Amino acid sequence: MSFSHAFNPTSLREYDIRGIVGQTLDAKDAFAIGRTFGSIVADKGGRTVAVGYDGRVSSPELEAALVEGLVASGMHVLRVGRCPTPMLYYASTVKQTDGAVMVTGSHNPANYNGFKMMLMRKPFFGEQIKQLGERSASGQVVPEAEGSSESIDITADYVARLMADWDGGDRILKVVWDNGNGAAGDVLPRLTSSLPGEHIILNQQIDGTFPAHHPDPTVAKNLEQIIAEVAKQGADLGIAFDGDADRIGVVDDKGQIFWGDQLLVVLARDVLKSHPKGTIIADVKASQVLFDEVERAGGTPLMWRTGHSLIKSKMAETGSPLAGEMSGHVFFADKWYGFDDALYAAVRLLGIVARSSEKLSAVRDALPATVSTPELRFDCEDTRKFQVIDEVAARLKEEGAAVADIDGVRVKTEDGWWLLRASNTQAVLVARAEATSEEGLERLKAALVSQLEKSGLEAPDFSGENAGH
C-alpha cells in the first residue's frame, strides 16, 4: 500500500512537531510520524523505538496511531505508557533503543499536543524534522512490514535510579511540590516517599485540562499557588514542574522565585567541587551573574544558543558536566545521562540544600543584585525576523560594540547587557536586558529600541517591565 502524507507546515518546528489538536495536528499526522520516523530508524539499521505519552486528553489516541505507524515500518515498539518526558528518555537510554518518541504538548495550552524525538539516543531536531516532513510528503518510507509492540513498566527502575544519586545530609527538609496536573503525577509520590523529609504535593492528579493553572513554571503567575503554600507550611522550598516534567521551577523559603540561571549557580557550585574547571553551559538569555559566579567557583562558563537540543549537542561536544537554560531545562552529565530531567534536578537540588546549614533564601540574597526585564516577545514575520538580527549585528559591529552573536545579538556595556534574538519556533523576536541599576537598565532599553527603529520596527512598550533578579 503506497503512503504519503503532508503535514501542516506550522507543525514542523525546530525542536519538535507540535500543533493544535483537530486543527493542525491529528491521529493521521501521528501515524505518518510513526511511519516516517520508523523508516528513518530502519535506514540506520535500527529496529527498537521507545514511546511514551503525557497526560493530555488527546495523548492516548495520538500514541496509538504513532505506534501503529512505527509497527507498520517494522519497528519493535516499547510502550512506556503515560509518563514524564525524562522517564521516556531514561527508558530509551537504559534499554538502548534506536529511537524514542514522546507524545507531549509540554508547557503549551491544553488544546495543543506534539512529538519530541530521539534518534540513536541523540536529539532529533532542526534539519532532521524538516527532512521527516519531506520524506512523509513524498512517500519515501520503507516497504510496509509487520513490526511488534510490548508494554513495559519502568517506573520503579526510574525512581530507584533517581534516588541512586541522592546525597543529602542530616538536615530534614519540608518541601512543597506542584505537579501542575502534569505527567509526573504518577511518579512523584513514589519519589517523595523514597526521599527523607516532609513532602506536600499540590495538583498531583494528572489532568490534561490543567484545572489549577497553566503548567509552565517560568511564568510567575503559575507559581502563585506554590508560593502561598510554602508560606503556609513554613517549608524550606517549593519545586514546580511543567506539563511533561522536563523543566523545573523553584521558590525559596521566603517564596522568592529562583529563575533558571540562579538555580544553575547553586547547582554549578556543587558540581564544580567534583569537576574543577568543568565547562558549565547556559543559554544567551542567562544573567551575567551566572557566568561570573561559575568563573568564581573555578568553572569554565560557556554561553550557547537557546534550545534544549542545541544545548545537549554542545554538552556532548565539550564534555560539560552541567548545563541549563532560563526556561528551566537543567542537564546533568556528571552522574546522569545528559538529558533534561526536572525530577532528577529536584533530587540534586534537595541534596545540596539538605547538606547546607544556610537557608535557600540566604543563598539567593547573597547573589549580586540586578534589575532586568523579563523575556519580552513581540511579533515579527518569519521572513523578516532573521534579517532584522543580521542588520542589527552589522550596525553594532560597525559601531565597535562588544557583541556576542552565537544566537541573535547580546551586547555588553558598562551598564550591563541587552539581547535580541529570533525565536526558532514562532514568528517573534525576543528581547531581554539586565543592568546593575534602574538608570542603567533604561539606557540599555533605549539602545535596544533605537536598533529596532533603525530596522523599521515599532519597538514594544518596555515601560513597567523591570524586575529584580
Residue given cell 534589575 in the structure block: 371
> Mean pLDDT throughout 12-37?
96
Strand 322-324 to 409-412 pairing = unpaired
Q: With bands split at pLDDT 50, 70 and 90, how would you rate the model's confidence at 97?
A: very high
Q: What is the pLDDT of residue 286?
A: 95
CA angle, corner 415, sides to 410 and 420, nearest 5?
Answer: 20
Q: What is the pLDDT of residue 465?
A: 54
DSSP 254-310: T--EE-HHHHHHHHHHHHHHHSTT-EEEEETTS-HHHHHHHHHTT-EEEEE-SSHHH
For residues 469 and 375, the answer to whether their CB atoms sit within 8 Å is no
For residues 195 and 166, the answer to whether their CB atoms sit within 8 Å is yes
* pLDDT tops 70 at residue 468: no
Q: What is the pLDDT of residue 309?
A: 87
pLDDT, tens only, 234-290 = 999 999 999 999 999 999 999 999 999 999 999 999 999 999 999 999 999 999 999
**145 - beta bridge partners?**
73
* pLDDT tops 80 at residue 300: yes
CB atoms within 10 A of CB 7: 22
CATH 3.40.120.10 residue ranges for the chain: 9-153, 157-365
Cell, residue 253: 523559603
Average per-residue pLDDT for the chain: 95
Q: How far apart are CA 111 and CA 22, in angstroms?
A: 9
Q: What is the pLDDT of residue 1?
A: 64
Q: Quick one: how many helices (H) and strands (E) in the chain?
A: 14, 23
For residues 403 and 409, the answer to whether their CB atoms sit within 8 Å is yes
pLDDT, tens only, 128-141 = 999 999 999 999 99
* pLDDT tops 80 at residue 372: yes
CA angle, corner 106, sides to 105 and 108, nearest 5?
Answer: 70
| Secondary structure element (H or E) that encloses residue 144, with its range | none
Q: How far apart are CA 379 and CA 397, in angstroms?
A: 25
> Mean pLDDT throughout 177-199?
98
pLDDT, tens only, 385-443 = 999 999 999 999 999 999 999 999 999 999 999 999 998 777 899 999 999 999 999 99
pLDDT, tens only, 52-93 = 999 999 999 999 999 999 999 999 999 999 999 999 999 999
> Mean pLDDT throughout 367-375?
91
Q: How far apart are CA 139 and CA 151, in angstroms?
A: 29
* pLDDT tops 60 at residue 464: no
Q: Looking at the structure, give the CATH architecture of the domain made up of residues 157-365.
A: 3-Layer(aba) Sandwich (3.40)
Q: What is the pLDDT of residue 217?
A: 95
Q: What is the pLDDT of residue 141?
A: 97
**116 - beta bridge partners?**
102
Q: How far apart are CA 232 and CA 44, in angstroms?
A: 54
Q: How far apart are CA 82 and CA 103, in angstroms?
A: 9
CATH 3.30.310.50 residue ranges for the chain: 371-468
Q: What is the pLDDT of residue 51?
A: 98
Q: How far apart are CA 437 and CA 416, in angstroms?
A: 9
Sign of CA dihedral 11, 13, 15, 20: negative
Determine the CATH number of domain 9-153.
3.40.120.10
Q: What is the pLDDT of residue 171?
A: 95
357 is catalytic: no
For residues 67 and 149, the answer to whether their CB atoms sit within 8 Å is yes
* pLDDT tops 80 at residue 149: yes
Q: What is the pLDDT of residue 469?
A: 56
Cell, residue 120: 540513536
> Mean pLDDT throughout 20-41?
98
> Mean pLDDT throughout 359-373?
94
pLDDT, tens only, 248-262 = 999 999 999 999 999
Cell, residue 459: 519597538
| CATH T-level fold of 371-468 | TATA-Binding Protein (3.30.310)
Q: What is the pLDDT of residue 378?
A: 87
CB atoms within 10 A of CB 412: 13
Q: Given 11, 73, 106, 313, which residue is catalytic? A: 106
